[in-house]
Amino acid sequence: MDVRSLMRRSAQFHADELAIIAGDTRLTYSEAWSRGVRMANALLDMGLLPGDRVGVLEDNTYESVDFFCGTAAANLVRVPLYPRNSREAHRHMLEHTGCRAVVVSESHAAALQGLTSEVPSLEHIVVRDAEYESWLAGFADTDPDPVIAEDDWFIVRHTGGTTGPSKGVAYTHKTWLDAGRDWFFAFPPVQKGDVCQHAGPISHGSGYLFTPTWLSGGVNLLVETFDAAGVVAIMEREKVAYGFLVPTMLNAIAREPTARERDWSHLKVLQIGGAPIADDTALLGREVFGDVLYQGYGQTEAVPITMMGPHEWFSDVPGSNPLRSAGRPLPFGDLAILDPDTHDELALGEEGEIAIRCDGQMLGFWDNDEATAERMHNGWVLSGDIGMLDRNGYLYVLDRKDDMIISGGFNIWPAELENTLSDHPDVVEAAVFGVPSERWGESPYAVVTVTKDAQVTSEQLIELCAGQLGSYKKPVAVELTTEPLPKSPVGKLARKQLREPHWQAHERRVAGN
């Protein structure tokens, strides 16, 4: 099976049904697929051939669907660029995937200006400006109908690039469909007309929900810019049933003043992923939106591998703590905890590197055998995350290997401290990272966003951590602010951005004792 054929079939079966909501624009399946076919013919008219890579830099708009459908219809390989990345990051992603063309919204066009002279493979930059609609209409809506095999490449997504240039993770048509199937395996079934809201960019985690929603006759609702008040208003007005949120987004919409007053009777699933979630954020989300929270774990290289719904997430299980976990392995995937050095499998209850095998995993990094060898071992994808599996199969994600703080010979995981700090009612969000210490090598330091009427002091939060986690884990200092903490392009806490000023006088970003 291939993505194009299944999307085309759904467009035929649901031709007159609503497929897309984006701002004031609404498109039926027939209209959306017709626009996509025109885009396919436009790209092929440039001389592109099936299998060629095509970049795209955009926000969530109805024109995004033109590109999503169009590359599928033409059997071209999508390479999403990320609007908050630098020009150098865009250049790298286009160059190392050998993109021959890139489509960019007018608002982001300046970031790509001149790249045809810097990227040898790049021949075309298509700017979606005021002439876009007439340009698109100039191409036939006759399906080009290329031959597509399930092992043809469908998309190249990129990692965050925290340890050097970002790496390309390629999905075939089959692995993309397998990942989408597993995303929805534990969800209530999608009914025709159910609305899936993409409050985050479809170039990232939310994009995994786009294809399954389309194939089920649902409605993909695209939100161009995340704003908590706007998102909750749209969720109620459009009777949203499904959505993907990173924890910071859930925290924001659950605290939106009108959220508790709204009608959430149509809501089935709020899928939370992308980063560990604090207990109080999960509990607040459940209190506001009801039993609709689902949590999954995975990463671009292998996703998803765990999932759990609200009745399991907030349950009492002897020998386990589901609230603190990332769920249990899905039935058609495998999960292990390996020794980070020897790659030997560890016993249940021991901490080590999370390793994943699933149908939606990468076959390797794009054109990077060295990186592939580092991240794959005997068919396992090595996650780079430290975790533990308990006797009931619950996975606990402790932290990233490279975020670990080594203080006086003890390993301290920032996420554990962040979770404890976030349990305080005055705390909105917290970020913990290591800072230099003459005595201990490095010590944990916290930056905490508190509510505007907060009464808590830094000293009280330090004592909270000492009391719950032990004195050796408490932050050396807690910096209070009422401003939101910096986030990555996908809404994850940008710990390294907060950490960097504390290490400017040091040649290395780690310290010994």
What are the tens digits of pLDDT across the range 111-145?
999 999 999 999 999 999 999 999 999 999 999 99
What residues contact residue 461 under an 8 Å CB cut-off, 6+ apart? 421, 424, 427, 446, 448, 475, 478
pLDDT tens for each residue of 421-442: 998 999 999 999 999 887 777 8
Average pLDDT for 276-295: 93
CA distance 5 to 112: 32
d(CA 58, CA 111): 11
Q: Quote the pLDDT of residue 500.
A: 87
In tens, the pLDDT along 39-66 reads 999 999 999 999 999 999 999 999 999 9
- Asked if the model's pLDDT at residue 148 lies above 50, the reply is yes
Burial class (CB in 10 A: 0-12, 13-18, 19+), 287: exposed
Candidates 461, 504, 500; CA nearest to 481 is 461
140 CB contacts (<8 Å, ≥6 apart)? 37, 38, 41
- Which range of 65-74, 152-161, 383-392, 429-438 scores highest in mean pLDDT? It is 65-74
> For the residues 468-496, what does the mean pLDDT come to?
86
Amino acid at site 73: A
Give the best-scoring range by mean pLDDT among 48-62, 468-482, 493-507: 48-62
How would residue 512 be classed by pLDDT, with cut points 50, 70 and 90? very low
Evaluate if pTM is beyond 0.75. Answer: yes
What does the mean pLDDT of the chain come to?
92
Q: Which residue has the tokens 């706007």?
A: 230
- The most distant pair of C-alpha atoms in the chain lies apart, rounded to whole Å, by 71
CA angle (83, 180, 326) in 5-degree steps = 85
User: Which of 91-95, 275-279, 333-337 is predicted with the least confidence, judged by mean pLDDT?
Assistant: 275-279
- Give 307's strand partners: 296, 328
d(C-alpha 13, C-alpha 19), whole Å: 12
Q: How confident is the model at residue 162, as a pLDDT? A: 39
- φ/ψ of 220, rounded to 5, equals -90, 120
Residue 509: is its pLDDT beyond 80? no
pLDDT tops 80 at residue 497: yes
Name, in order, each residue with C-beta under 8 angstroms of 503's C-beta and a sequence gap of 6 or more.
435, 436, 509
pLDDT, residue 24, reads: 96
Tokens of 384: 């780079």
Average pLDDT over residues 381-405: 88
pLDDT(273) > 90: no
CA gap 51, 48 in Å, rounded = 9
**pLDDT tens figures, 331-342:** 999 999 999 889
Return the minimum-mean-pLDDT range out of 110-119, 158-167, 376-385: 158-167
pLDDT of residue 480: 97
SS3 399: strand
- Per mean pLDDT, which range of 122-126, 321-325, 411-415 is the poorest? 411-415
